[in-house]
Amino acid sequence: MTPPAATPASGRPPAPGSPPPSAIDLRRVGKVYPGGTRALDGVTCRFEPGEFVSLLGPSGCGKCTVLRIVAGLAAPTTGEVVRGGKAGGGSPGVPMPTELGCVFQEPTLMPWARVWDNVYLPLRLRGVRRRAAQDRVDAALTRVGLADFAGALPRELSGGMKMRVAVARATVARPAVLMLDEPFAALDEITRFRLNDDLLRLWSEQAWTGLFVTHSVFESVYLSSRVIVMSGRPGRVIEEVAVPLPYPRDDATRTSAEYVSLCRHVSDALRRSMAGAGQHGAADAQGGTRDA
Amino acid sequence: MRDAAEASNAAVDAAPVKAAERAERRGHGFQRGLAPFAAPLGVGLVVAGVWEFAVGYWQVPEYLLPPPSAIVETMGAERATLASAWCVTFGAMAVALMAAVLFGVLLAAVFATSRIVELSLFPYAVVLQVTPLVAIAPLLMIWINTPWIVKLVCAWIVAFFPILSNTALGLRAADPGLSDLFRLYRASPWQRARLLLAPSALPYFLAGLRVAVNLALVGAVVAEFVTGAATDHPGLASLVFEGQYAMNVPLTFAALGLISGTGIAMYFATHLLSRWLLGGWHASSLEPDRP
C-alpha cells in the first residue's frame, strides 16, 4: 500500500530544545526469524516527525517486530529503513541514528535501583553526571506525578506507577522518537485512560514522534493521528486510517460521534485484515474489537 | 509543576502501597528479628536436655556417648587446643573460599563473554566437582607434598564449582527487556557489566556462596582426614582423630561441635550478607507475606 503524503501531526509548534525532526521510512521491509517464522512481508510505511501513529493488528502480526527494527534491535531480512535520507536499519544491532526512547510491555525497571536511578539510566549511559542530570530527572518524575516516589524501590510501586516510571525514563532524554510496545495492556481500564491522557500531554509538551503498538481499537483511535492496521502473520500494512480528531483529547472525545465512527471504521478494517487468518487470529481480532 | 489531578492520581496509586507498608510494620516483627535465631536455638536446647536426661537415665558410658555437660566441660578444659585447631581449619576454609570466589567469578565473567570458552572449559569444571575429594587428595599429596597447601586446594576445589556455575547462570539471567534497553541506549560493555549484569547476577552468586561456604568447610575437614596433617598443622579433624585414639570421646564431640557451629555460623553470616546486599529488592531477601 502506498503511504500517504507527509502530514503535520497536530499543528502544534515544536518543543524548545527538541532534536531536529526527520521522517522514518520503512520500505518493503520483510523479516524472517532464524527458526523460519515470517514475521513481516513487504511492510511499507512512513512516520512523519511529530505525529502519533498506532500500529494495530492481531497477536503475532509483527507489530513489535516493526518497533524492534526501527529501534535497531533487529535487522530486516529484506527491504530497508531510511531516516533523514540515510539507511540505518540494515545491520543487526545497529540502532537508528536518532535519539530513541522505548517503553516495553512490562515496565522493565531495574529492581535493585531506586525510582530516581531508573529514570536517570538513559542519561547515565550517555555520560551525564548525577548532579548535571538532577533537574532533568526530577522534572521527568514530576511530569508523571511521581516526584514523591523518587527514593522508592520498584517493588513498592503499583503497576500503573511502574509504567509511569518507565515513561519518565523513556522521555527524560527528550527523544526524537518514542516507541511504546503495548505499554498499558496489563493495566485496568481506569488506569489506562489516565495514562493515555498523561501520554498525550507529554507528547504535546515534548514533540516526539510516537509509535504506539496496541491491540485496542479504542486506545489506538484516542491517541493517534493515524492508525496503521496490519494483517495476521506475516504482517502487512492493510490500511492506514487518518484520525482527524483535534488535540487535546479528553473524555468528551471518547463520547463524540466522530470518535465512535472512527472506532467502527478501524474495527471493520481489523476484521477485514483477519478475513484470511486462522481461527486463533480471528479470536484475537474479536477480542480486540470487544475491547474497543 | 504537578497539578492537583496528578497529585490525586499519585495518592490513589500510593494508597495500597502505604497500607501494605503499615501492615508489614505491624506484623512479623518477631519473625523478622529473633525467630531465625531463637527457633533453632530452642530446638537445640530441648534436644540437649533430652540427651542429657537419657544418658543419665540409662547410664550410657562416656566413651560411647558423653552427655552435653561433659562436652561443654571438655570445651572449657581444652579451650586452648580447640581454639588453635579451629583457627587452622577456619583459616584454610576462609582462604579457600576467597580463592573460590575470586576464580569462580572471574571464570564466570569469561564464560559470559565467550560461549565457545564456556563450552570448552565447563566440562572440566564439572569433572572437578564430581570427582570425590578423597580420591583427589592422595594425588595432591604426591604432587604438592605440603599438607596445608593440599588442604587449601581440596577446600577450593569443592567451593569453586557452586560459585562458578551460579555466577555464570546469573550473568546470563539479565532481564531481556533491560538488555534491549541497554542496547538501545548504546551502553558500553563496561556499563552493561557494571549496571546490568553484576546486579542481575548478584542473587545467583550469593546463593552459590551460601552453598560454597559450607562446602569449603567440609573440604578443609575432609582434607585434614585424608592428608593426616595432625603433626604439622592440627586442625579440628585432627582433634577428632586424637579423641578417637585416646578414647577421649568428649574431645571428639567438642571438635565436631565446633565444626558444626562454624558451619551454622557461616550459613547465617551468608544469609545476613544476602539480606544486606540485596537490600530488600530481591524476592529471596523479602519476608513471605503470611498472616
pLDDT digits (tens, 9 = 90+) for A247-269: 999 889 999 999 999 999 999 98
Q: Are strands A209-214 and A52-56 parallel, antiparallel or unpaired?
A: parallel
Give me the sign of the Cα torsion angle A134, A135, A138, A144.
Answer: negative
CA of A198 vs chain B CAs: smallest distance (Å): 9
* Count helices and strands in chain A by DSSP H and E runs: 9, 10
Contact A158 B281 (CB under 8 A): no
Number of A:B CB contacts under 8 A?
84
For the cut 60, the answer to whether the pLDDT of residue B289 exceeds it is no
DSSP string, B221-263: HHHHHHHTTTTTS--HHHHHHHHHHTT-HHHHHHHHHHHHHHH
What is the Cα–Cα distance from B100 to B271, expressed in whole angstroms? 18
What's the pLDDT score for residue B136? 85
CA of A118 vs chain B CAs: smallest distance (Å): 11
Span A84-88, average pLDDT: 58
Q: Are strands A24-32 and A209-214 parallel, antiparallel or unpaired?
A: unpaired
Q: Which residues of A touch B13 (CB under 8 A)?
A: 157-158, 160-161
Distances (CA, A) of A103 to A180, A210, A252, B181: 5, 11, 27, 9
Span B120-147, average pLDDT: 85
For the cut 50, the answer to whether the pLDDT of residue A95 exceeds it is no
Span B274-287, average pLDDT: 78
What's the pLDDT score for residue B280? 76
Q: Among B14-28, B43-57, B60-74, B160-174, which is the least confidently predicted range?
A: B14-28
Instruction: Give chain B's end-to-end CA distance (angstroms, integer).
Output: 41
Enter the C-alpha cell of residue B286: 523479602
Contact A125 B10 (CB under 8 A): no
Q: Among A254-263, A269-278, B37-46, B69-78, which is the least confidently predicted range?
A: A269-278
CA of A122 vs chain B CAs: smallest distance (Å): 6
For the cut 80, the answer to whether the pLDDT of residue A3 exceeds it is no
What is the Cα–Cα distance from A1 to A145, expressed in whole angstroms? 41
What's the pLDDT score for residue B134? 83
Span A188-203, average pLDDT: 90
All residues at 6 or more sequence positions from B74 whose CB lies less than 8 Å from its CB, including other chains: B66, B248, B250, B251, B253, B254
What is the Cα–Cα distance from A218 to B123, expressed in whole angstroms? 55
Span B36-51, average pLDDT: 89
For the cut 70, the answer to whether the pLDDT of residue B157 exceeds it is yes
Stretch 160-199 of chain A: residues touching chain B, C-beta under 8 Å: 160-161, 194, 198
Contact A110 B13 (CB under 8 A): no
Q: pLDDT confidence of A291, banded at 50, 70, 90?
A: very low
| β-bridge partners, A237 | A230
Q: pLDDT confidence of A103, banded at 50, 70, 90?
A: very high
What's the pLDDT score for residue A131? 94
Residue range A126-149, pLDDT digits in tens: 999 999 999 999 999 998 889 999
What's the pLDDT score for residue B284? 72
For the cut 70, the answer to whether the pLDDT of residue B166 exceeds it is yes
What's the pLDDT score for residue A161? 93
- Looking at this protein, which amino acid is placed at residue A57? G
Q: Which of A15-24, B8-17, B87-96, B274-283 has the highest mean pLDDT?
A: B87-96
What is the Cα–Cα distance from A223 to A220, expressed in whole angstroms? 6
Q: Are strands A237-242 and A226-230 parallel, antiparallel or unpaired?
A: antiparallel
Higher pLDDT, A221 or A187: A221
CA of A152 vs chain B CAs: smallest distance (Å): 10
What's the pLDDT score for residue B29? 57
Residue A103: phi and psi, rounded to 5, are -120, 125
What is the Cα–Cα distance from B270 to A20, expressed in whole angstroms? 53
| β-bridge partners, A81 | A26
**Residue of A103, A121, A141 for testing the chain B interface, max B β-carbons within 10 Å:** A121
The closest CB to that of A93, out of B10, B183, B280, belongs to B183
Q: Which residues of A touch B10 (CB under 8 A)?
A: 145-146, 148-149, 161
pTM (2 d.p.): 0.78
Q: Whose CA is closest to A291, among A196, A231, A220, A241?
A: A220
For the cut 80, the answer to whether the pLDDT of residue B2 exceeds it is no
Enter the C-alpha cell of residue A195: 495514562
Q: pLDDT confidence of A97, banded at 50, 70, 90?
A: very low
Residue range A202-232, pLDDT digits in tens: 999 888 999 999 989 999 999 999 999 998 8
**CA-nearest residue of chain A to B9?**
A145
Q: pLDDT confidence of B287, banded at 50, 70, 90?
A: low
Block residue for cell numbers 489531578: B5
Span A92-118, average pLDDT: 81
Q: Is A229 left (phi over 0), alpha (psi -120 to 50) or beta?
A: beta
* Count helices and strands in chain B by DSSP H and E runs: 13, 0
**CA-nearest residue of chain A to B1?**
A142
**Residue of B18, B175, B184 for testing the chain A interface, max A β-carbons within 10 Å:** B184
Q: Among A13-27, A51-65, A94-108, A154-168, which is the least confidently predicted range?
A: A13-27
Q: pLDDT confidence of B19, banded at 50, 70, 90?
A: low
For the cut 70, the answer to whether the pLDDT of residue A15 exceeds it is no
Task: Kindly list the strands in the beta sheet with A177-181, ordered across the sheet, starting from the edge strand earlier in the chain.
Answer: A100-103, A177-181, A209-214, A52-56, A226-230, A237-242
Q: If you average pLDDT over every residue of chain A, what do you get?
A: 82
**CA-nearest residue of chain A to B176?**
A108
What is the Cα–Cα distance from B273 to B61, expressed in whole angstroms? 43
Please, are residues A208 and A199 in contact by the beta-carbon 8 Å criterion?
A: no
DSSP string, A40-67: EEEEEEEE-TT-EEEEE--TTSSHHHHH
Residue A135: phi and psi, rounded to 5, are -65, -40
CA of A147 vs chain B CAs: smallest distance (Å): 9
Please, are residues B152 and B95 in contact by the beta-carbon 8 Å criterion?
A: yes
